[in-house]
Amino acid sequence: MRGARPPWKGAGRRRGEGEWEEWGEEEGGGGGVRAWVAVDAAGEARVAELGRQAVMRRTGLPARDLRILDPQLSYPSTVLGRERAIVVGLEHIKTIITAHEVLLLNHRDPAVEPFVRELQRRLRHRHQQQECEIEKGKDDEDISARGSRALPFEFIALEACLEAACTCLENEAAVLEKEAHPALDKLTSKISTLNLEHVRQIKSRLVAITGRVQKVRDELEHLLDDDDDMAEMYLTDKMMQQHLSEEASHSSLNDQSEGIDEDRMRAEISSEENDAPRMYEDELQNVVNDNSPHGPCLFNVESHRTNTYSTKSSNKHLDVQELEMLLEAYFVQIDSTLNKLTTLREYVDDTEDYINIMLDDKQNHLLQMGVMLTTATLIVSAFVALVGIFGMNIQIDLFDEKKAGMPEFLWTVGGSAAGSIILYVIAVTWCKRRRLLE
C-alpha cells in the first residue's frame, strides 16, 4: 500500500492549492547538481536543481559547511550559525536556514516528509497571522510590537528541526525500551542462547542510540554555553540592522547635499545684499572646499565606519534570551531522553550482573558435584583395588573351603562396602568443614 504523497510531489498542481512550484532552471556551476526543496516564509515548497556553487552564492556558506549536509559522509550532529544562514545537521534533518527560506537536501527520505509537512504548517500559520494583523488595520507600532514578540522565521524553522530530531530520538528510545524490558525479564527467567542473542542485539541498538542522543545534547549544550554562536543565528535582526545602516548612510548623503545647497544659497543672497566682494569670495571658497573630493568623502567614510561599527557592536551584544529559551526547551527534552537511555543501560547492566551471578552459582554447583563425584570415584577405586587383591591366585585360609564359607565371604564383601561408604562420608564431611562444599 502506497503512502500519502508528500507536498512537493505531484506535478501539475497550481500554487494556489498549497502545492509546490517547480523551478524550471537548473543552477549548476561547480560540484554535482542535486535536488533541493526550498520552503519560503509563506510555507510554499519548491524543488530546485542546485549545484554547490549556486548554493554557496545563495546562502553565503563556505564549501566546508556544505560537506556537513552531504548524506554520503558521516558527520556528528551540528548546528552552525553563519553570517547569512544556519546549517543544521541533526539526525535525518539536513537543512540550510536563511532569513527568508529553508533549503532541504534529502527531501526524498521518507523520514523527512513529515518534517517538511510540519514546517509548512508552522510557516503557513505564521504567515496567516501576519496577514490577519495587517488586514485588521492596526497601526505600525502595534504591528511592530506584536511582531517583536513573535519568533522570527529562522527560529521557527530551527524549532521545527530540533523538534523533529528530538522527537525521532525519543520515539526510537521509547520503542527500544518497550522491547528491552520483556526481553530482559525473559532472560532472567530462562537463560538460553536465543534470549542471550536477543539481549545482545538490544544492547547494540542501545549503545548506538545513546551515542546519537549524546551528540545532539552536547551540541545544544555547546550552543547554550556560547552567546556569540547564538547571536550569529539572529539572521532577521542582522538583515534589518544591515538595511537600517544602509538607509542611514543614504540619509546622511542626502542631508549633506542639502546642507551644501543651503550654504550656497545663503552665500549668494548675502553677497547680493551686502555687495561685498570679499565675503562673496570667502563664501565661494567655502563652497569650493565643500565640493572638493576630500571633504564629503571623508565625512562619508567616517559615517560609514560609524554605522558599520555600531552594527557590529549591536550584533555582538544581541539579546540571546529568546533563542536561549528555545534551545533550553529541547535541551531538557533530549536530556530526558538521555536519562531514560542511561536508566535502561543501567537496567541492562544489572541484568547482566544478575545473569553472571546465576551462571557463577550454577558453575559452583557443578564444581561441587564434580568434587563429590571425584571423591566417590576414589572410594570406588579403593574398593575395586580390594576386589582385585582378592582376585589374585594366592593360597590363604579365606579361600579354603574347609575353613571359610559363605558367612566369611559376606562379611568380607560387606565390610569392604561399608568401609568405602564410611570413607566417602568422612571425605564429604571434611570438605564441608573446609567449606569446599555447601
CA–CA gap between residue 330 and residue 279 (Å, rounded): 73
Domain 1-148 indexed as CATH 2.40.128.330: yes
Query: Is residue 334 scored above 50 in pLDDT?
Result: yes
Mean pLDDT of the 220-237 span: 90
Query: Is residue 297 scored above 70 in pLDDT?
Result: no
Least confident of 2-11, 183-192, 210-219, 313-322: 2-11
* pLDDT the model gives residue 254: 59
Q: Which residues, other chains included, contact 113 with Cβ-Cβ below 8 Å and sequence gap of 6+?
A: 6, 107
* pLDDT the model gives residue 137: 60
Cβ–Cβ under 8 Å, residues 236 and 81: no
Query: Is residue 204 scored above 90 in pLDDT?
Result: yes
| Between 140 and 122, the higher pLDDT residue | 122
User: Per-residue pLDDT tens for 17-59?
Assistant: 334 444 444 444 445 688 899 999 888 888 888 888 999 998 9
CA–CA gap between residue 427 and residue 421 (Å, rounded): 10
Cβ–Cβ under 8 Å, residues 62 and 55: no
Query: Is residue 74 scored above 90 in pLDDT?
Result: no
CA–CA gap between residue 335 and residue 171 (Å, rounded): 14
Query: Is residue 215 scored above 80 in pLDDT?
Result: yes
Structure-block grid coordinates of residue 373: 563425584
Specify the residue for cell string 543614504: 250
At CA 43, angle to CA 232 and CA 121, rounded to 5?
A: 100
Nearest to 65, CA basis, from 79, 50, 49, 54 = 79
